[in-house]
A = this chain, B = another copy of it.
């Protein structure tokens, strides 16, 4: 090549220069991906279709309404302007809905215990995390299912704490070894809080259990005031039993959480074809109507209380009636719901990343990516159940959670999208390479600069050539995930709670996780 002595050759240093460039640590805002990247380039619904869904939801709220509100809810909602019918259903005049939307809290911060993990919901900013109520653990090595335990849950929190692309830790599974509902709820909070400094989501069986949980959270936060200033746990609240009925007990839980300063996820989890209409549009209409009712409820109790619009419609396999969270229909439902959150300009969340596959196999990969990337591209604020979920939410898998970090990293790169700038349009770079340069871009300044800021590299995803792969002994993806799991869990990092606080919590509450 005739440019060996070209003054520019110093910057064409090839492999060594690339290595050096990669060694420098990037500032957070320069990282190629991060929590809160803005999505929204995927819009399966037109403006007119969204308006139509909204109108249909208003019509349902006005004419069908919701049954089964508790007495306290009926009092608050009728005081706000809802009407209680002779059939016991609360109906909502359109004006009440519109006023509620206008006045609702639209920029919510979900705090981490560590402020570095704060999530700023709103707009089309996308965050991924765990969620669910799996009852099984997937044993990858034995290719089998067993009951999930408190230790499994704690380990999941510890693993998620270490994964860059898992932005929050909503409880993904139920500790089956703690049968008492009160102990289960308390230990669930403890297992998560002692495992991660990221934002946590959890649910409560009864309103009476919220108080003791808050007692623990006050201890962890350093007092009630500190907790209320930065609540790092939110309440996943299944406030409806679709179609169009309030879940009486969950509503009471919600009221307690609101009073305790805990953000609420208004979770409407209908299942298209079973507890919601089988049509995608119809399932979105129903979920939207239910969440609007929930939003009125929250704001009737405490105006402006942080609430996440949780339209989580699921999908049935209509051949069997069983849930199919891994389907394309699910991905569309979730993306359509994300657009409705944008339509209302309300912070929202929905489910994605669920596999129907029982194991972290190829099917799991395509199912988890399909809905995760579409959720992100549609600008969903909170992508729940995004990693580790198998068997349509019945099974959770630590290895899958770890691989999900790579999978979601790739989805986030897609959410970030394509920038077009004076510089990266590259006319000058192309001209120089073609007319003056070496005829390739391997060592150009642009290439070296972009390799850190624009490209995402998987942690476990294998990009070796077949030859390298042979030489490496044909590494197995799941075995590598297990190895990483063991490395994370073997790390005796400083306990997440101080010994003093931990002792005090254990003195007051029946904590079952060993110290």
Contact = CB atoms under 8 A, between A and B. Distances in A.
A482 to B, nearest CB: 13
B273 A447 contact: yes
B332 A413 contact: yes
A418 B280 contact: yes
Interface string A320-338: 1110101111011000100
Contact of A430 (B87, B285, B414): B285
Interface stretch (A71-79, A124-132, A358-366, A502-510): A358-366
Interface stretch (A43-51, A111-119, A197-205): A43-51
Given A413-B328, A418-B44, A394 B466 contact: yes
Interface string A269-291: 00011111111111111100000
Contact of A41 (B42, B370, B429, B456): B42
B424 A356 contact: no
Interface centre among A391, A414, A418 (most CB of B within 10 A): A418
A423 B329 CA distance: 18
A20 interface: no
A431 interface: yes
Contacts of A460: 363
Nearest to A244: B434
A29 interface: no
A439 B274 CA distance: 9
A274 B426 contact: no
Interface string A396-425: 000010010011011111100111110111
Given A273-B442, A411-B328, A356 B420 contact: no
B425 A53 contact: yes
A146 to B, nearest CB: 10
A154 to B, nearest CB: 22
Interface stretch (A55-63, A94-102, A181-189, A491-499): A55-63
Contact of A42 (B277, B363, B377): B377
Interface string A21-45: 0100000000000000000011111
Interface stretch (A219-227, A248-256, A469-477): A469-477
Interface string A440-453: 11101011001100
A68 to B, nearest CB: 11
A368 interface: yes
Contacts of A285: 425-427, 430
Given A41-B44, A145-B466, A370 B414 contact: yes
B413 A454 contact: no
Contacts of A377: 42, 374, 377
A395 B466 contact: yes
A487 interface: no
A362 B477 contact: yes
Contacts of A406: 363, 366
A6 interface: no
A235 interface: no
Contacts of A488: none
B366 A281 contact: no
Contact of A281 (B358, B418, B435, B469): B418
Contacts of A489: none
A328 B410 contact: yes
A354 to B, nearest CB: 11
Contacts of A392: 463, 465
Contacts of A439: 243
Given A281-B419, A361-B365, A374-B414, A273 B451 contact: yes
A103 interface: no
A176 interface: no
A440 B274 contact: yes
A428 B279 CA distance: 13
A364 B373 CA distance: 15
Contacts of A283: 426
Contact of A366 (B18, B42, B366): B366
Nearest to A45: B418
A423 B420 CA distance: 42
A183 B441 CA distance: 36
A420 B357 contact: no
B427 A59 contact: yes
Nearest 5 CB-CB pairs, A to B?
A: A365-B365, A282-B426, A328-B413, A318-B451, A279-B424
7 contacts: A42-B43, A45-B420, A64-B434, A144-B470, A274-B440, A277-B441, A363-B365
Given A282-B429, A362-B403, 16 more contacts: A243-B430, A244-B434, A272-B441, A273-B447, A274-B440, A278-B444, A278-B447, A281-B418, A282-B424, A331-B410, A332-B418, A365-B367, A365-B369, A366-B366, A377-B377, A394-B465
